[in-house]
Amino acid sequence: MGVETRRFMRLLVFFDLPMVTKAEKRAYVQFRRFLLNDGYDMIQWSVYGRLLNGTDAQEKHLKRLVENLPPEGSVRCMTVTEKQFAGIRLLVGMPLFQEKKVTANQMLLF
């Protein structure tokens, strides 16, 4: 598959989980750890994103996400194209190290 035919996208996950009881804190830690181990980067608190290569990867990672959902709370996801994601404006603060100008063409996918 050539670079021209690839459809790079970002899967964004937004979540708000309760952390009152010990079990809820444990569920939060397990969900966050799953996201990090599955290749997501933290964009800001409770917002994580992952680069995808096509709709097959999108379906695969959505399925993995559903399989690892915590029992309580609110978890939402949205898929945007790489071009849409690149249009995000940072209004306050500094960009994270992961957000430095790196395009999808510069990334190595195995």
pLDDT per residue as tens digits for the range 25-64: 999 999 999 999 999 999 999 999 999 999 999 999 999 9
Output the pTM of the full model.
0.80
Instruction: Report yes or no: 14 and 47 within 8 Å, Cβ to Cβ.
Output: yes
Residue ranges of domains in the chain, CATH in brackets: 3-90 (3.30.70.240)
Residue 105 to residue 23: CA distance in whole angstroms: 42
Q: Is the pLDDT of residue 65 over 70?
A: yes
Largest CA distance in the chain: 50
Long-range contacts of 65-68 (CB under 8 A, 24+ apart): 65/11, 65/13, 68/30, 68/31, 68/34
Which stretches of 1-110 are DSSP H helices?
22-37, 55-67, 82-86
